[in-house]
Amino acid sequence: KRIVILISGRGSNMCSILDAIAAGELPANVAAVIANRPEAAGLETARARGIPVRLVDHRHYADRAAFDAALAETIDAFAPDLVVLAGFMRILTSDFVQRYRGRMLNIHPSLLPLFTGLHTHRRALEAGVRVHGCTVHFVTPELDHGPIVIQAAVPVLDGDDEPALASRVLAQEHVIYPLAIRWFVEGRLHLLDGKVKLDLPQ
């Protein structure tokens, strides 16, 4: 199966996917990595690993619709089975999301439905929760609200600051995202009537 990964920054989730493929744990081919910012460090990482990279710079487009149209055209040139948002920090139009319905995943650094949006680790610390984590979900038009595929929880420890908590969560992101993608490419994960359907061996 062919996947396209969309990034905006460092690309550590992208790397965890490439590593899982290299380790033989994920039967997929990353057809391309696409970034919306030229300074996304993950672009260079992907290029160094021999993955085709593309830049669709959102600042070059008049509005979201124009950007999303260019992004869709770039994605579709690679004919992916799955679109993977990995730290892709752009709100997507409903048209764009509909186009990839049931074949676009996102990872969000909180236990959804808690803490949608930005600064999730800071907000978790402010709220005083004792458990935090990350969520892989199908993408739907409402930001961070799509059907949940898998979550991982971590403890919030006394003395945690934002970076400490973020890195504990990130380590789990790197576990659950390749796993969810594996389920999808193995044909065991579907979105059916707006609900997640997962066929796992008993």
Instruction: Pick the closer one to ligand GRF by CB: 13 or 93.
Output: 13
CA distance 26 to 42: 20
Size of the site for ligand GRF (CB under 6 A): 14
Stretch that binds ligand GRF, among 10-18, 28-36, 75-83, 191-199 (CB under 6 A): 10-18
The answer to the question of residue 173 lying near ligand GRF (CB under 6 A) is yes
CA distance 129 to 123: 9
The answer to the question of residue 170 lying near ligand GRF (CB under 6 A) is yes
**Three-class SS of 48-97:** HCCCCEEECCHHHCCCHHHHHHHHHHHHHCCCCCEEEECCCCCCCCHHHH
CA 10 to chain centre: 13
Shortest reach from residue 119's CB to ligand GRF, in Å:
11
The answer to the question of residue 11 lying near ligand GRF (CB under 6 A) is yes
CB 116 within 8 A of CB 110: yes
89 is in an annotated binding site: yes
The answer to the question of residue 107 lying near ligand GRF (CB under 6 A) is yes
Stretch that binds ligand GRF, among 5-13, 29-37, 92-100, 187-195 (CB under 6 A): 5-13
Instruction: Pick the closer one to ligand GRF by CB: 62 or 118.
Output: 118
The answer to the question of residue 45 lying near ligand GRF (CB under 6 A) is no
Tokens of 95: 């048209």
In this structure, the number of other CB atoms found within 10 A of the CB of residue 105 comes to 23
Distance between first and last Cα of the chain: 24
Does residue 108 carry a catalytic annotation?
Answer: yes
122 is in an annotated binding site: no
Annotated catalytic residues are: 108
Binding site for ligand GRF (CB under 6 A): 7, 9-13, 42, 86-87, 107-109, 170, 173
